Amino acid sequence: MPDGKIMKALSGFYYVKTERGLYQCRGRGLFRKKKLTPLVGDNVNFDIQEDNEGYITAIKERRNELKRPAVANIDQAIIVVSAKEPDFSTLLLDRFLVLVEANDIRPIIFISKIDKLIDTELAEIQSYQSIYQKIGYQVELISAQENKEYDQLSNYFANKISVIAGQSGVGKSSLLNRLNPTLEIDTNEISTSLGRGKHTTRHVELVEIYNGLVADTPGFSSLEFDTLDLQSLPVCFPEITKRQHDCKFRGCMHVNEPKCAVKQAVDVNEIALFRYEHYLQFYQEIQSRKPRY
């Protein structure tokens, strides 16, 4: 029985790529009984019927998965945030970083539209770039003007499955089109009345970029921490994880506890104050979340 990878999901059909070509498949009824849905990125076995059509018979074990967007077996998430239009937001970036870290996926940060900045604004963005790089994140500044920059991004994609995440209007589809001009993904201008772009991507699909696969998705439809618990939150901040073993109390949550190594690091600027403030904001948000029954 052949095996392959689901490259696209659309209207109940799954398009499975193998060495011999692309097959349009449906899922077996047993998946519905098990409440298991095939996802783009899944490695599957399938039964060929005729005319390159078939039925998926088994889904192999997943390394990880996202619910929104629905993608499995992801190596990394490229978080695209704009320097301007819409304005750069560390709060929004940190929300994306926490969501990605919580799913045990490696984040990479692309800051787009730097060509729209004046010198003082660029200097501020570069200072944030330095802060995130010191934490351990890879951060690239990209513009709509320099094709050379896009060629230099190729190493991020080779032999990996990536998901592109980011707020509407930051240029995710434009980025993919520049990386692979044959895609011709629809893009829309920023809605000036709303300050954000219109959603143009309607389904999940893996597209080929620089010898890798990228999930062209509608992005995260929710930025809520609806499945993240308080104990897992510190792990989503690498600079907190690095220091939490030096806290006096085991299980320290770095909020009100005395002799907390994390708070001491904030006091001496070893941890950026805005990152710690976002940690506290997310902590309160999760703590005040209504329980689900």
What token pair was written down for 154? 């190729």
Task: Name every residue whose Cβ is closer than 8 Å to that of residue 231 and which is 6 or more positions away in sequence.
Answer: none
Hey, which bits of 83-198 come out as E strands?
Answer: 106-112, 138-141, 161-165, 190-191, 196-197
Beta carbons within 10 angstroms of residue 271's beta carbon: 25
This prediction's pTM: 0.84
Q: For position 193, what pLDDT does the model report?
A: 30
Give the CA radius of gyration of the chain.
21
Beta carbons within 10 angstroms of residue 99's beta carbon: 24
Q: For position 181, what pLDDT does the model report?
A: 67
Q: For position 147, what pLDDT does the model report?
A: 60
Please give the average pLDDT of every successive group of 10 residues along the chain, which has 293 residues.
Answer: 91 91 86 85 91 89 84 92 92 94 92 93 97 97 70 85 80 73 54 36 77 74 78 96 94 95 97 98 91 59
- Burial (0-12, 13-18, 19+ Cβ within 10 Å), 251: exposed
Q: For position 155, what pLDDT does the model report?
A: 86
Cα 279 to the chain's mean position, in Å? 19
Q: Nearest-CA neighbor of 204 among 97, 65, 27, 63?
A: 65
Phi, psi (degrees; rounded to nearest 5) at 89? -135, 115
Taken in order of first residue, the domains within the chain and their CATH numbers are: 3-60 (2.40.50.140), 71-216 (3.40.50.300), 230-287 (1.10.40.50)
Q: For position 32, what pLDDT does the model report?
A: 76
